[in-house]
């Protein structure tokens, strides 16, 4: 087991990572001084796979456990679902001291986090992420969110968990596609801040995709460490956290233009390649590093099989995102693998040129 402690103005908490941690959850919760009643918020898939077993271990540790059904999809990550859960928490006589355990992927983490932050103005939250994306990225940083109509992730609050338990054994039931989605953000973390992590993924990709215990623990732990360092310096997303958007300027546009047919990780992978190429054209990143990024994302199953995307519509989407000012656009660029810079000075002409070559 590996531990990362996030030291934040709103308090500190641990993120523990390793195989088999679900079975120790009762022990870790008691260690926080939690006791009595608690609520697990999960989805139908994770409920069957893990939440029922988790309930048994928590019962054995003396907790009184209620499982509540959270959103089963992005569409259900809504205010309506949150509203239903407030009523269900009330039905189970949840109090301000009653912990909410968010057990699932990013959809569950975001919504259960939001519910925990707002029910009775905040009850203790424990994140138990079960996808690679959630363990390596979305469960960290305290951003909770729901969607509302066309507002995606626009309704939410910053709310930190008391503890995050990332049992890497849960990743073994994910599909290769789901693993790749999470790996995308880990490769991103390596590219912006940890060249050694990037090297490690290059050398151990087969072990990672085969869910080798040590490989999963290593990449999740290092990814958590990188995001934790960034979040500690920019708890409320006012500056440094911007570097986490590497690949996301073009990535978000690809998602939008494809009407979300291209999944987030694949869209961001395209964005990372485009941003790496732009970095090279602006004299920052060498050709060899650009090629390594493209090769690793390809090997990880994140490039290729992309529907034809019209360049004009991509630029239009970036305009819409208000990312373009005076013919220039903000980009997170790489200086080398492991070092990043943010600039407002990328010309739209260069972006169009690179898009036309890469798409």
Ligand X SMILES: NC(=O)c1ccc[n+]([C@@H]2O[C@H](COP(=O)([O-])OP(=O)(O)OC[C@H]3O[C@@H](n4cnc5c(N)ncnc54)[C@H](O)[C@@H]3O)[C@@H](O)[C@H]2O)c1
Q: Residues in the site for ligand X, rule: CB under 6 A? A: 43, 45-46, 49, 74, 77, 104-108, 110, 130-131, 133-134, 137-138, 141, 143, 145, 153, 170, 173-174, 178, 181
Nearer CB in complex with ligand X: 173/341: 173
Nearer CB in complex with ligand X: 99/104: 104
Sign of CA dihedral 180, 185, 188, 190: negative
Reading the block at residue 266, the tokens are: 């694949």
Task: Give min distance, CB of 33 to ligand X, in A.
Answer: 26
Task: Give min distance, CB of 90 to ligand X, in A.
Answer: 25
CB-closest chain residue to ligand X: 106
CB 64 within 8 A of CB 99: no
Nearer CB in complex with ligand X: 118/178: 178
Whole-number Å distance between alpha carbons of 41 and 20: 20
Nearer CB in complex with ligand X: 178/286: 178
Which among 274, 340, 333 is positioned nearest to 303, based on CA atoms?
A: 274
Nearer CB in complex with ligand X: 284/302: 302
Nearer CB in complex with ligand X: 131/256: 131
Nearer CB in complex with ligand X: 170/249: 170
Nearer CB in complex with ligand X: 157/291: 157
Greatest Cα-to-Cα distance within the chain, rounded to the nearest angstrom:
63
Burial state string for 253-282 with b = 16 or more CB within 10 A and e = fewer than 16 = bbbbbbeeebbbbbbbbbbbbbbbbbbbeb
CB 259 within 8 A of CB 308: no
Task: Give min distance, CB of 205 to ligand X, in A.
Answer: 20
Task: Give min distance, CB of 111 to ligand X, in A.
Answer: 8
Task: Give min distance, CB of 345 to ligand X, in A.
Answer: 27
Question: In terms of DSSP bridges, do strands 163-167 and 64-69 run parallel, antiparallel, or are they unpaired?
Answer: unpaired
Residue ranges of alpha helices (H) inside the chain are 25-31, 44-46, 52-60, 79-91, 106-118, 132-133, 176-193, 195-209, 213-233, 248-257, 264-281, 287-299, 311-320, 348-358
Task: Give min distance, CB of 347 to ligand X, in A.
Answer: 29
Task: Give min distance, CB of 200 to ligand X, in A.
Answer: 22
Element spanning 18, H or E? strand 11-18
* DSSP-derived 3-state class of residue 99: coil
Task: Give min distance, CB of 349 to ligand X, in A.
Answer: 31
């Amino acid at each position: 087991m590996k531990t990362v402690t996030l030291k934040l103005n709103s308090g500190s908490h641990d993120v523990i990572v390793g195989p088999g941690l679900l079975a120790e959850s009762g022990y870790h919760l008691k260690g926080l001084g939690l006791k009595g009643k608690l609520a697990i918020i999960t989805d139908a898939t994770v409920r069957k796979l893990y939440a029922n077993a988790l309930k048994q271990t928590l019962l054995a540790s003396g907790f009184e456990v209620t499982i509540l059904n959270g959103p089963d999809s992005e569409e259900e990550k809504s205010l309506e679902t949150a509203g239903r859960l407030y009523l269900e928490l009330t039905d189970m006589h949840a109090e301000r001291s009653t912990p909410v355990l968010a057990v699932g992927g990013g959809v569950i983490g975001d919504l259960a986090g939001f519910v925990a932050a707002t029910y009775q103005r905040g009850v203790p939250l424990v994140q138990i992420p079960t996808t690679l994306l959630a363990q390596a990225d979305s469960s960290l940083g305290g951003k909770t969110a729901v969607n509302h109509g066309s507002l995606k992730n626009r309704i939410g609050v910053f709310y930190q968990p008391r503890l995050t338990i990332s049992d890497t054994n849960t990743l073994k039931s994910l599909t290769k596609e789901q693993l790749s989605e999470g790996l995308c953000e880990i490769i991103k973390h390596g590219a912006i801040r940890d060249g050694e992590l990037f090297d490690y993924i290059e050398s151990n990709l087969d072990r990672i995709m085969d869910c080798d215990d040590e490989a999963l623990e290593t990449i999740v732990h290092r990814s958590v460490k990188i995001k934790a360092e960034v979040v500690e310096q920019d708890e409320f997303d006012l500056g440094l956290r911007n570097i986490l958007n590497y690949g996301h300027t073009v990535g978000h546009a690809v998602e939008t233009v494809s009407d979300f047919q291209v999944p987030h990780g694949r869209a961001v992978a395209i964005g990372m390649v485009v941003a790496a190429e732009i970095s090279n054209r602006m004299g920052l990143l060498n050709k060899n590093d650009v090629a390594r990024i493209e090769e690793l994302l390809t090997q990880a199953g994140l490039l290729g099989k992309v529907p034809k995307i019209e360049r004009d519509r991509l630029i239009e989407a970036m305009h819409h995102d208000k990312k373009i000012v005076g013919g220039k656009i903000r980009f997170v660029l790489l200086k080398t693998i492991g070092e990043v810079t943010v600039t407002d000075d990328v010309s739209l002409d260069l972006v169009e040129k690179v898009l036309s070559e890469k798409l």
